Chain A
Amino acid sequence: MTRVVVVTSGKGGVGKTTTSAAFASGLALRGYKTAVIDFDVGLRNLDLIMGCERRVVYDFVNVINGEAKLNQALIKDKNCENLFVLPASQTRDKDALTEEGVEIVIKELEHMGFDYVVCDSPAGIERGAVLALTFADEAIVTTNPEVSSVRDSDRILGILQSKSRRAAEGREPVKEHLLITRYSPKRVDEGEMLSYKDVQELLRVQLIGVIPESESVLHASNQGTPAIHLKGTDVSEAYSDVVARFLGEDRPLRFVDYEKPGLIKRLFGGK
Chain B
Amino acid sequence: MTAGSPSRMIEFRNASIGATVAVLRDARPAPLADELHKMLGGMADFFNGEPAILDFSGLSAEPDRIDWSGLISMFRRFRLQPIGVRNLSAELVAAARQAGLAQLDGAELAAPTASPTRTAPARVDAPPPPPPAPVAVQAGTMFVDRPVRSGQQVYAKGGDLVLLAGMSNGAEVIADGSIHCYGPLRGRALAGAQGNTAARIITSNFGPEIVSIAGIYKTFEQGIAQNVAGRPAVVRLSGAGREQKLDIEALQLD
Most chain A CB within 10 A, of B48, B148, B168, B169, is at B168
Name the A residues within 8 Å of B168 (CB-CB).
154, 202-203
With both beta carbons as reference points, the residue of chain B lying nearest to A160 in the complex is identified as B149
Docked-complex contact A154 and B170, CB < 8 angstroms: yes
Q: A202-B168, A204-B183 are in contact. Are A155 and B150 (CB under 8 A)?
A: yes
Considering the complex, which residues of chain B in the window 135-154 have a beta carbon less than 8 Å from any beta carbon of chain A?
Answer: 146-152
| Minimal beta-carbon separation of A158 from chain B (angstroms) | 3
With both beta carbons as reference points, the residue of chain B lying nearest to A204 in the complex is identified as B147
Bound-state Cα–Cα, A158 to B153, Å: 10
B166 interface hit (Cβ, 8 Å): yes
Grouping DSSP codes into helix (H, G, I), strand (E, B) and loop, the A interface class, with mixed when no group exceeds half, is helix
Most chain B CB within 10 A, of A125, A151, A154, A159, is at A154
With both beta carbons as reference points, the residue of chain B lying nearest to A10 in the complex is identified as B150
Interface string of A58-93 (1 = CB under 8 A from B): 000000000000000000000000000000000000
A223 interface hit (Cβ, 8 Å): no
| Minimal beta-carbon separation of A150 from chain B (angstroms) | 9
Docked-complex contact B166 and A204, CB < 8 angstroms: yes
Name the B residues within 8 Å of A158 (CB-CB).
148-152, 171
Taking a contact as CB atoms closer than 8 A, the residue among B48, B166, B170, B184 that contacts A155 in the complex is B170
Interface string of A141-180 (1 = CB under 8 A from B): 0000000000100110111011000000000010000000
Docked-complex contact B151 and A155, CB < 8 angstroms: yes
Grouping DSSP codes into helix (H, G, I), strand (E, B) and loop, the B interface class, with mixed when no group exceeds half, is loop
With both beta carbons as reference points, the residue of chain B lying nearest to A156 in the complex is identified as B149
With both beta carbons as reference points, the residue of chain B lying nearest to A161 in the complex is identified as B146
Docked-complex contact B169 and A151, CB < 8 angstroms: yes
B165 interface hit (Cβ, 8 Å): yes
| Minimal beta-carbon separation of B171 from chain A (angstroms) | 8
Taking a contact as CB atoms closer than 8 A, the residue among A125, A151, A173, A203 that contacts B146 in the complex is A173
Q: A162-B48, A204-B166 are in contact. Are A154 and B150 (CB under 8 A)?
A: yes
Taking a contact as CB atoms closer than 8 A, the residue among A125, A151, A173, A204 that contacts B170 in the complex is A151
Name the B residues within 8 Å of A157 (CB-CB).
147, 149
With both beta carbons as reference points, the residue of chain A lying nearest to B230 in the complex is identified as A201
Bound-state Cα–Cα, A33 to B165, Å: 36
Bound-state Cα–Cα, A23 to B149, Å: 26
Most chain A CB within 10 A, of B150, B165, B171, is at B150
Name the A residues within 8 Å of B169 (CB-CB).
151, 154, 202
Name the A residues within 8 Å of B151 (CB-CB).
125, 154-155, 158-159
Bound-state Cα–Cα, A248 to B165, Å: 25
Name the B residues within 8 Å of A155 (CB-CB).
149-151, 170
| Minimal beta-carbon separation of B154 from chain A (angstroms) | 11
| Minimal beta-carbon separation of B19 from chain A (angstroms) | 15
Name the A residues within 8 Å of B148 (CB-CB).
158
Q: A204-B165, A204-B166 are in contact. Are A154 and B149 (CB under 8 A)?
A: yes
Bound-state Cα–Cα, A151 to B184, Å: 15
Please, could you name 10 A-B residue pairs with CB atoms under 8 Å apart, sorted by A? A125-B151, A151-B170, A155-B170, A157-B147, A158-B152, A158-B171, A159-B151, A161-B146, A162-B152, A204-B183
Q: Which 4 A-B pairs have the closest CB atoms?
A: A158-B149, A154-B150, A158-B152, A155-B150
